[in-house]
Structure 1
Amino acid sequence: MIDFLEKGVFLHSFIDSSGCVFFNSDSGETLSVKLTEANLIEFICSEQRSDIENLAALSTLVQKGFLKPSTIKESYVE
């Protein structure tokens, strides 16, 4: 189901549905985003990615090693 996460990365939604946190069990690093898990999955699966803020969040998650690079088009990764 969540095949866009790198190995050893876990995703947990906040109880108030205000976002989610990523945890890398290898490095111990955590990163939170103001996207719900459902919104994140919807954005990843969407053909239209015009929301710059969400796109920036995805790029950061890829650069930090939480999401697989194939999650977003290579031209979006800095």
Structure 2
Amino acid sequence: YVEDAVVEGFEADKVYSTKVRNKVFMLDNPAKDQTEAKEKQKSRRRANKSKALTAKEKRALNVYDIPIESRK
């Protein structure tokens, strides 16, 4: 919005007919099924992502234990 951008004596009908009428406006309004499919895909990706083990789980699985043969 710019103040005083409209000059005196302009004709609204002429501006409408030359600038707005019969023009195609690109609006982003995807179909509902398309957005639902994207949401489902995101949730599937989130569910399939492997989660890191917590320190407690690592201790339970003996991840931190180094075998005697491997020690210096």
Q: Give the shorter-chain TM-score range.
A: under 0.3
Q: Which has the higher contact order (CA 8 A, sep 6+)?
A: 1
- When normalised by structure 2's length, the TM-score is 0.23
More strand by share: 1
More helix by share: 2
- When normalised by structure 1's length, the TM-score is 0.22
